[in-house]
Amino acid sequence: MRPIIDGGEVIVPLGDRVLGRTVSKKVLGPDNKKILIKKGTYIDEDLIDKFDDLGVYELKVRSAIHCETIYGVCSKCYGRDLGRGHESHIGEAAGIVAAQSIGEPGTQLTMRTFHIGGAASGTSAEDNVEAG
């Protein structure tokens, strides 16, 4: 994973993208010998603060899309429980949290879509009538 850059400007830094995730492949130093970050390391704020000093600008993290768990998603691939700010645990309702986070903006989008125009916006079909 890398920072999101548009036109030379960093839109989303690497730290923001990987916070609460787990490293899936060890990160080596410039000499390709020294291990800077071990595979399986949980990425927290303290580690992110060291990225610049370590020269880490890209790393691979575990993902729910590629999780090999037969039923559900393991805690290493799911990442941080955003509601509580700590690493998730087996048995937590990850699907419900995801549904709620998608559901609320979806509801707002639906309400906004259906309330454009008509009496609420003050427009009507008779605005274009000309007197003869």
Domain residue extents for the chain: 4-119
Amino acid at 78: Y
Within 13 Å of residue 6, how many CA atoms lie on the same side as its CB?
A: 2
Rounded CA-CA distance 124/127 in Å is 6
Greater pLDDT, 129 or 48: 48
pLDDT the model gives residue 37: 93
- Tens of pLDDT, residue by residue over 5-62, are 999 898 999 999 999 999 999 999 888 888 999 999 999 999 999 888 888 889 999 9
Structural contact between residues 88 and 80, judged by C-beta atoms closer than 8 angstroms: yes
Would you call 79 exposed, middle or buried from its count of C-beta atoms within 10 A (0-12, 13-18, 19+)? Answer: buried
Q: What is the pTM of this model?
A: 0.67
Give the H or E element holding residue 28.
strand 27-28
